[in-house]
Amino acid sequence: MLFSSKWVKGWWHKEPQFNFNNLVDEHANMSQEKLFQAARDMYGQEIDNDHDDGADNTNDDDMMNIDDHQQQEHQNPNETPEKLKELLSQLEDEIENIPEKEAYELGLFANPDYLESIKFRLMFLRSDRYDPRAAAKRLVNYWDRKVQLFGADKAFRPLRMPIDFAPKDETSATQGGFRLLPARDEAGRAVIFSFRRYYDNRHENIESMLRLFWCISHAALEDPEDGDTIQQVGFVGLTGNGMDDVAADSMLQACSNHIEFYSTFYSDLIHCLPMKIAAIHMFAPNPWVKLLIEHVLSFQGPHLRARVQIYDGTTEENLDKLEDYGISPEMVPPELGGTLDFNYHGWLMRKRVEDAARYGTGLTSTSTDTMMDMEVTTEKMFEG
């Protein structure tokens, strides 16, 4: 059944706060520098921003792994040993200046080697383009949110997928509403595919969906082979709906669920996760999906909206357009018209085995009694 825009707006609660016309106006009012950076991100060309803030000294022992990040053909000027020492010192100062950081301080007690490691902190500097203040805010928010989602017994170490899911999360993991695709695009960026038909985003499932996304994103960020590259060049999102045949009486509830989920999802993405989002390609096959996307745009903020591309043409037109951004049809799932052959459930099983072998069963330096005490403290932190 096809629906006109007029009909769709008739059953929607209210007009979207942000629409495609606003998007055009917002782009027109952006500075040339920001527009240029957004274009470079979307097409997979990196821009590095130097910071001239004063440097402080960092312990030489803490810097012993910095040289590991210097093996790229085109060395990032922000990741020379001298610059990294400066940025990491500034990051530490900015963290100290944040007054409320209980979850972060719990983490320093539980697993200081992980929280203070250069490899971990570098994720946040990279995601915020080497801005220590922004990275410090994101890092503190990250721990608050990670404890809320996973609990103190799982938060303060690398996430293991799907080992760290709660029992109620298994359905979300099996459905695979978010999938890390096996190949990187031409710029080396990780591609995450989201398809509405593959997840249930009712209110009671929102946290399960978010835990899935956190684990998916960390699978790329902490990948032993190309995690460093992904942290620098970023992520690309491919989003489809697959709800063309939803009954009219189910549409309002489905879209209401969608809005509730994405308001929380984009809050995590913008404020917490150390992900550099290079581009979001959103497929809108019919008017009601376009209207839904307009509502979603209001949660993204100007930085992400500048990296959004909407696809509403034929399959051939959409694939040609995607290829301009470095994503070939062979990388695109069949649900969006591509020819990617990807066994998600086989990947999920392999990931379970790999993460168990790589990370083991969890923290070994903190006793069970201490972890139980931390759980009680965490519950008090987030009461109300």
**Position 126 pLDDT exceeds 80:** yes
Count of C-beta atoms within a 10 Å radius of residue 49: 12
Q: What is the pLDDT of residue 256?
A: 66
For residue 144, what pLDDT is reported?
96
pLDDT attached to residue 53: 39
| Per-residue model confidence as pLDDT tens digits over 248-273 | 445 555 666 677 788 889 989 999 99
The answer to whether residue 20 scores a pLDDT higher than 80 is no
For residues 162 and 206, give the distance between their C-alpha atoms in angstroms, rounded to a whole number. Answer: 17
Using one digit for the tens of pLDDT, what is the confidence trace for 368-381?
343 334 344 434 44
* 366 vs 195, more confident: 195
CA 87, CA 50: separation in Å to the nearest integer? Answer: 10
Residue among 13, 44, 39 nearest 230 (CA): 44
Which DSSP symbol is given to 12?
S
DSSP letter assigned to residue 326: T
Query: Does residue 235 have a pLDDT over 60?
Result: yes
pLDDT digits over 149-183, tens only?
Answer: 999 988 998 888 766 777 778 888 888 889 999 99
What sign results for the dihedral spanned by CA atoms 251, 254, 255, 256? positive
> pLDDT tens digits for 75-122?
789 999 999 999 999 999 999 999 999 999 999 999 999 999 999 999
- Give the per-residue pLDDT at 46: 54
Do the bridges between strand 277-283 and strand 308-311 make them parallel or antiparallel, or are there none, so unpaired?
parallel
Quick check: 285 pLDDT over 90? no
Order across the sheet with 178-180: list the strands: 178-180, 190-195, 235-240, 277-283, 308-311
- What SS3 class is residue 378? helix
What is the C-alpha separation between 35 and 42, in angstroms, rounded?
11
pLDDT, the chain, mean: 80
Collect contacts of 263-269 with beta carbons under 8 A, ≥24 apart. 263/299, 264/206, 264/210, 265/209, 265/210, 265/213, 265/299, 266/296, 266/299, 266/300, 266/301, 266/304, 267/299, 268/145, 268/210, 268/213, 268/214, 269/304
Quote the tokens at residue 254: 């489905």
Q: Hey, what amino acid is at 42?
A: M
More confident residue, 157 or 53: 157
Share of the chain above pLDDT 70, in %: 76
Look up residue 46 and give its DSSP letter: -
User: What CA–CA distance (Å, rounded) separates 336 from 329?
Assistant: 9
Collapsing DSSP to helix, strand or coil, 181 comes out as coil
Query: Band of the pLDDT at 124, cuts 50, 70, 90?
Result: very high
| C-alpha–C-alpha distance, residues 283 and 336, integer Å | 8
